[in-house]
Amino acid sequence: MAQQDSITVFDIPSGMGGSFTVSITEDLGETAKVRIWHGKATPKGWESWKDFDGATRIVEKTTLKNEREMSFFKHFEDTQEGFFFTLRHTDSDYRPEKVVAKYLQAHSEYDVYRMEEVCADSYTQRTYPVDPAELTEEQIRAAHECRGQMVGNKVKVWDNGQAVAL
């Protein structure tokens, strides 16, 4: 059975001064049985916040407001962590001829990659996301072996033969 990506949801008064996001689980005519969605969409799917998530109520259909689609998934790049991991940076004095090495880094949980171009004094000149289709299987394997390590979590994929200062 295919996994559901999204669902039609509404807002109802929570009775505590705010609102709940709900979906209709059963149409009962003038009323409906609704499921409360309390949590957030993540790259791995719905993350439940337990307090109210999954609870059901019978409500008047007239209380259902703000109909919309809610996704259970969020692209990694749309998360704060993903934004920073895939953030492009180019140093103000970047020149390709100053680059002596390129290092590939794989994210610790997701198949997302970034490249760092380093100059002779080990200063990162440029950082940018890399499409895995542009990488060799060996580069991906090596980057996966390093991911999650606190130190040395990158793999050198190119150098121009100059020694990099440590």
State pLDDT tens for residues 47-106.
999 889 999 999 999 999 999 999 999 988 888 988 999 999 999 989 999 999 999 999
Distance (Å, rounded) from C-alpha 103 to C-alpha 101?
7
* Judgement on whether residues 64 and 86 belong to the same structural domain of the protein: no
**Helix (H) or strand (E) segment spanning residue 141:** helix 137-146
What are the C-alpha distances in Å from 64 to residues 29, 58, 60, 72, 101?
Answer: 14, 11, 8, 20, 58
69 lies in the same domain as 51: yes
Residue 16, pLDDT score: 92
Cα-based distances in Å from 20 to 8, 17, 95, 124, 165: 14, 10, 53, 46, 56
Are 98 and 90 spatial neighbours (Cβ–Cβ below 8 Å)?
no
Domain range for 101: 80-159
Final residue of a structural domain among 25, 49, 74: 74
pTM of the model: 0.65
Question: Do 70 and 113 share a domain, yes or no?
Answer: no
